[in-house]
Structure 1
Amino acid sequence: MIIDAHQHFWDPARADYPWMDAPELSPIRRAFGPADLAPLLEANGIDASIVVQCRSALEETEEFLRIAHENPFVIGVVGWVDLTDGDLGDTLDRLRALPGGAKLVGIRHQVHDELDADWLLREDVQRGLTAVFARDLAYDFLVRTRELPAAIATAQAFPQARFVLDHAAKPPIADGGSDEWTDRMAALAACGNVWCKISGLATEATWDDWDAERLLPFVAHAAKCFGEDRLIFGSDWPVCLLAGSYGDIKRALEACLAKLGPNVREKAFGVNAKAAYRLRVA
């Protein structure tokens, strides 16, 4: 099974997405739903996808579970919950009891938008993560280089939990990279309970001036750090449309992975996502 482990659905006419207000994001400031994605998956040889949180609202998580229930190709949901909620355990149990609730495989918060670089280390957040892991759910790190130290400490604090790093921590590709990102990625990868999504990389490059060769050093570093068993493909559709088509993104990542070893591509395009999210699929 070929899996796109990171895609989104949204409708700015029905909900507020504060991160989408920037003028340069106007090309994607419209509705994107399952009917838009399904033909792209078929055209690009993708069997299934995981839909990932876009806004901090339980209503969105509930909607994604409904979508997953109604669309078999959506095999997992990484949703949002309030990690500081004292009744989080009850909230998670309620979500899992909904139609599609069995497809709730992970939780995510937009940590890189928090003013506090150590937000993940707050006592109430760590308590919330305990409730997440007690229900055998993964947690997606949405962080940049600034927040990587807190992500490292969190992964170390929960050695039996499963974490997935989104977008390889958004390396500064357009600026040529940084030693800080390089070193902190290696430190996070040293925690054996963290997987890395090589997703969202084209939009960290210059949108109209990138190709597979520009992405390769960053994919190669992620592969060096995490190894072939902890790399995961994700399209980051429809955000990726700012830099290229769904096919452009998939082909570029395939070209990068093909240079890193015979098993890297196969595992990144399905096997590793199954392991990270414990997907119940044949």
Structure 2
Amino acid sequence: MLFDSHLHIVDRKHLAYPWLADAGPLDRDSLYGDYAREARRLGITDTLHMEVDVAEDDIERETEYVKGLSREPGSLLRGVIAACRPESAGFPAYLERVLADPFVKGFRRVLHVVPDNVSEGALFRENLRRLGNTNLTFDLCVLPHQISKAIALIDLNPDIRFVLDHCGVPAVKDGLSESWSSGITEVAKRPNVTVKISGVVAYADPDDWTPETLRPFVEHCIARFGWDRVIWGSDWPVCTLGGNLSTWVAATHALMQGVSDDERNRLYHLNAKRLWSL
């Protein structure tokens, strides 16, 4: 049983994705039906949709689009991590609308696609603090050299539950780096942060990786965060840059050989269901 905490759906007939023009092989539709067909065969029973950086005018429309898919018979979708703009004066009103919708489980603002000073702005930080009175999580997607920016936000908000995406985005193809490993060690000291075991296949050499290539990164995250603060995600369709969904699931199972059933279950589904009260 796998709970997929990180599914991206791309449907260009319904939503606009300005970044896709420069996304190479990802510049295509990646539809829920294609994902679900393979996911069910792999034992994925539940998934959360992760925002896909749609055009700002489409942010709330993306949530409604995914909600419609969740109503289909047998849907795997259990909620969304929605896009947001904490640097915007309109964030408080948006948050009020989201709080009325239990389908939204959290927010994400990808920080490595904006200048570093965006997350350092007074309005961004004031708006982020508003999540402290909610049950919404906040996903942090930063590059290793930006981990200090993430830590600053975490330290300002000890009552917000943060999720560090993609093992902290290591450059797997370049091997272990001190900046990445020390950054993971430091952020893991914050008890309100969970790390997502996802994304790493997309950062490996697509023609030359095995589970052993990924092992040092995955095991370092688990060792530092512990089995109660790790969750699993597919990062589909981005994971297809390093194979496909089946490849990443098979690699995950290979990496978990030798761990206890309890540890495996916490990573695979129990922690996610607890984190989002599902």
TM over 0.5: yes
Q: 1:52 aligns with which of 50, 53, 63?
A: 50
CA pair 155-243 structure 1, distance change in 2 beyond 3 A: same
Is 2:162 the counterpart of 1:160?
A: no
- Worse overlay, 258-267 or 168-177: 258-267
The code of the aligned residue for 1:61 comes to T
Could you tell me how far apart the structure 2 residues matched to 1:274 and 1:137 are? Answer: 14
Partner-residue secondary structure (3-state), 1:77: strand
Is 2:189 the counterpart of 1:187?
A: no
Shift of 1:265: 1.7
The code of the aligned residue for 1:4 comes to D
CA pair 258-122 structure 1, distance change in 2 beyond 3 A: farther
Partner-residue secondary structure (3-state), 1:30: coil
- Worse overlay, 68-77 or 192-201: 68-77
Partner-residue secondary structure (3-state), 1:102: coil
Counterpart for residue 263 of structure 1: 262
Contact 2:9–2:49, Cα closer than 8 Å, also in 1:
yes
Could you tell me how far apart the structure 2 residues matched to 1:68 and 1:130 are? Answer: 30
Counterpart for residue 29 of structure 2: 31
Counterpart for residue 237 of structure 1: 236
The code of the aligned residue for 2:76 comes to F
Could you tell me how far apart the structure 1 residues matched to 2:14 and 2:5 are? Answer: 25
Counterpart for residue 66 of structure 2: 64
Shift of 1:260: 4.6
- Worse overlay, 46-55 or 8-17: 8-17
Could you tell me how far apart the structure 1 residues matched to 2:20 and 2:169 are? Answer: 17
| Long gaps (5+) in structure 1 | none
Could you tell me how far apart the structure 1 residues matched to 2:6 and 2:213 are? Answer: 21
Partner-residue secondary structure (3-state), 1:112: coil
Counterpart for residue 77 of structure 1: 80
Could you tell me how far apart the structure 2 residues matched to 1:167 and 1:251 are? Answer: 17
Cα RMSD of the aligned pairs, angstroms, is 1.9
CA offsets per residue over residues 39-77 of structure 1, 9 Å max, x none?
A: 112100111101001115323233233333446420120
Contact 1:257–1:265, Cα closer than 8 Å, also in 2:
yes
The code of the aligned residue for 2:233 comes to G
The code of the aligned residue for 1:67 comes to L
Shift of 1:245: 1.7
CA offsets per residue over residues 65-123 of structure 1, 9 Å max, x none?
A: 333344642012001122123342321232344xxx3120010011011122x432321
CA offsets per residue over residues 1-26 of structure 1, 9 Å max, x none?
A: 63111111012455443433336x32
Could you tell me how far apart the structure 2 residues matched to 1:3 and 1:13 are? Answer: 28
Contact 1:62–1:95, Cα closer than 8 Å, also in 2:
no
Shift of 1:259: 4.0
Counterpart for residue 107 of structure 2: 107
Contact 2:46–2:76, Cα closer than 8 Å, also in 1:
yes
| Long gaps (5+) in structure 2 | none
Q: 1:88 aligns with which of 80, 86, 91?
A: 91
Counterpart for residue 198 of structure 2: 199
Could you tell me how far apart the structure 1 residues matched to 2:76 and 2:132 are? Answer: 25
Is 2:11 the counterpart of 1:11?
A: yes
Could you tell me how far apart the structure 2 residues matched to 1:233 and 1:12 are? Answer: 27
Could you tell me how far apart the structure 2 residues matched to 1:22 and 1:87 are? Answer: 28
- Worse overlay, 121-130 or 181-190: 121-130
- Worse overlay, 239-248 or 178-187: 239-248
The code of the aligned residue for 1:195 comes to T
Instruction: Using structure 1 for the length normalisation, give the TM-score.
Output: 0.90
How many residues get paired?
273
Is 2:260 the counterpart of 1:277?
A: no
Identity over aligned pairs, percent: 30
Counterpart for residue 20 of structure 1: 20
CA offsets per residue over residues 151-190 of structure 1, 9 Å max, x none?
A: 1121111111100011011101100121000001111000
